[in-house]
Chain A
Amino acid sequence: MFTRLTISELKLLAREPVAAFFSLLFPTVLVVILGSIPAFREPSPDLGGLRVVDVYVGIAVALTLAMLGLQVTPLALATYRERGILRRLATTPARPELLLAAQLAAALATAILSSALAIAVGRLAFDVPLAGNLVGFVLAFVLTALGIFAIGLFVAAVAPSGKAGNSIGTLLFFPLMFFAGLWTPREVMPSVLQKIGDFTPLGAGERALHETMTGHWPALVSVTVLVGYLAVFGFAAARLFRWS
């Protein structure tokens, strides 16, 4: 039942060309574009001797999670409620909660695939080293995913319609991705912005991903912040989610 629902959600996502492109391929495209600029393949003292392309692989992973968690998931779930799909499920032996779980599982599977692709292309095309601390990296990935998906669920819980869910998600996406360093890597941000960023879900997520890619363990503050987002927004989403 759950497997079938998850596969069904994956199929439906694959049939949305724009969403599928942005969540699955765009992070890799970003790495390829930045990696094609010669200057970005030179070690930069501002980045502690790393190259811009090295840093952007981690940012690309955060970007994937942000698009899936903040845009794809709230749109899908709020649309399901708006169209009575959750209510219909409530009349069958499948609980509507199962559809939520399947949607999250499908988003997570897509995120893993998309991240793996960006990392592999970074490694093969531009010699971006694989995560120095693999266990730490997986931990950082999972925590960032949980934190950002909890926020996405919360948006889906309070959004009155699919359109509204998507708009709120997009509104959150830009400032949160700013702190993750999509436009300016976190590492070269003024320290005030870095400090603020540390307490945003994607800022903390990107920092944890970056630190584990360079062989360290994620900072305690990043882990605490991500677990905090998961707890607060996960709880609020569970309390506020309307099925019809």
Chain B
Amino acid sequence: MPVIEVQNLRKRYGDTVAVRDVSFTVERGEIFGILGPNGAGKTTAVECVAGLRVPDGGTIDVLGREPRDRSLRRAVGVQLQESQLPDKMTVQEALQLYASFYPDPADWRALARELGLADQLRTRYAKLSGGRKQRLSIALALIGNPEIAVLDELTTGLDPQARRDTWDLIESVRRSGVTIVLVTHFMEEAERLCDRLAVIDHGEVVALDTPAGLVDAVSAEQRIWFRPSAPLDDALLLAAPEVATVVRHGQQVEVTGTGNLLHAVTSVLATHRIIANDLRIEQPGLDEAFVRLVGKDG
């Protein structure tokens, strides 16, 4: 049963159409990604879901309620893009203050421990590193024990290590049963975390699938490189139905094709007792799928 249902959402600011036509559903317990280039309308869409903006058209249903219904504020935790805290507020004060807003808050000490903030409870916001600020922001989105957490541009501005730590954290939050809506423009993040993804471009959903499904749908082509241990006739490889092309680069052979290409190529080589040295396989990732879907780099 879906916890969020968005149908034909539309939102414009003056003459600019931010969201043209967006529909998707989010199932309980999943990590649902909203992926798209900057300015695609991702943030506007989730701000409508979070009840911060009133859509111009379409319907949104969150846990059976209308997004502006104030009773949802207890059930939906939101981490907004570029939302800060007063410079001189400490981590502990922020956690305690935000916990006091909810009838049944999470234990802020446990949350701080889980988020790796336990050693900086008395540190003021201005003195926190970017990664810690982001963690605190996530903690504030989770402090009310929400059923749904909406996280916008979770790891933008974080260094690679902090980004990976944050991803681990999101996975552990999901394991605790929270449904997560994740807005991102990082392919790696979407591929690693999301169960399903909506790709938004120019205010419309251009694809909606699992990360693997998106990749398959866009491109099934694979590429294999190797250096044969003995001379090898191209025709032997081309005879296999999976193989599309064979190209030589000096000693290197490059084979492209579809289906179980690796198995087809290694079978041919094994039959002729040839060993493939320096074997490399290139499978198009979400990056490539994304570029093809939105026609430009995210």
Chain A residues with CB under 8 Å of chain B are: 1, 4-5, 8, 11-12, 15-16, 79-80, 83-85, 87-88, 90-94, 244
Contact = CB atoms under 8 A, between A and B. Distances in A.
B242 interface: no
A4 B93 CA distance: 10
Contact of B93 (A8, A85, A92, A244): A8
A93 B144 contact: yes
B141 to A, nearest CB: 8
Contacts of A94: 101
B86 A12 contact: yes
Contacts of A87: 52, 80, 83
Which 5 pairs across A and B sit closest by C-beta, in order of nearness? A84-B83, A91-B78, A83-B84, A15-B88, A94-B101
Contacts of A92: 73, 98, 101-102, 144
Nearest to A76: B86
Given A8-B93, A84-B83, A16 B76 contact: no
Nearest to A79: B86
Given A5-B97, A93-B102, A84 B73 contact: no
B230 interface: no
Given A1-B101, A85-B86, A93 B140 contact: no
Given A1-B100, A8-B93, A8-B97, A91 B88 contact: no
Contacts of A16: 88
Contact of A83 (B52, B83, B103, B140): B83
Contacts, number: 59
A90 B74 CA distance: 11
A88 B89 contact: no
B232 interface: no
A220 B50 CA distance: 49
Interface in B57-107: 70, 73-74, 76-78, 80, 82-86, 88-89, 93, 96-98, 100-103
Residue in B82, B93, B101 with the greatest tally of chain A CB atoms within 10 Å = B101
B52 A88 contact: no
A99 to B, nearest CB: 10
22 contacts: A4-B96, A4-B100, A5-B97, A8-B93, A12-B86, A79-B86, A80-B86, A84-B82, A84-B83, A85-B85, A87-B52, A87-B83, A91-B51, A91-B76, A92-B101, A92-B144, A93-B73, A93-B101, A93-B103, A93-B144, A94-B101, A244-B52
A11 B101 contact: no
Interface residues of B, number: 27
B102 A88 contact: no
A87 B52 CA distance: 8
A88 B86 contact: no
A94 B94 CA distance: 14
A4 B86 contact: no
Contacts of A91: 50-52, 73, 76-78, 80
B84 A85 contact: yes
Contact of B52 (A5, A15, A90): A90
A152 B102 CA distance: 30
Contacts of B144: 92-93
Contact of A84 (B70, B76, B80): B80
Contact of B140 (A1, A88, A244): A88
Given A80-B86, A92-B144, A94-B101, 10 more contacts: A12-B89, A83-B85, A84-B80, A84-B84, A85-B84, A88-B80, A90-B52, A91-B51, A91-B77, A93-B70
B140 A8 contact: no
Nearest to A88: B83
A93 B102 CA distance: 7
A106 to B, nearest CB: 12
A27 to B, nearest CB: 23
A118 B93 CA distance: 31
A11 B85 contact: no
A244 to B, nearest CB: 8
Nearest to A13: B88
A4 B88 contact: no
A80 B140 CA distance: 16
Nearest to B99: A4
A4 B85 CA distance: 16
Contacts of A85: 83-86
A12 B125 CA distance: 12
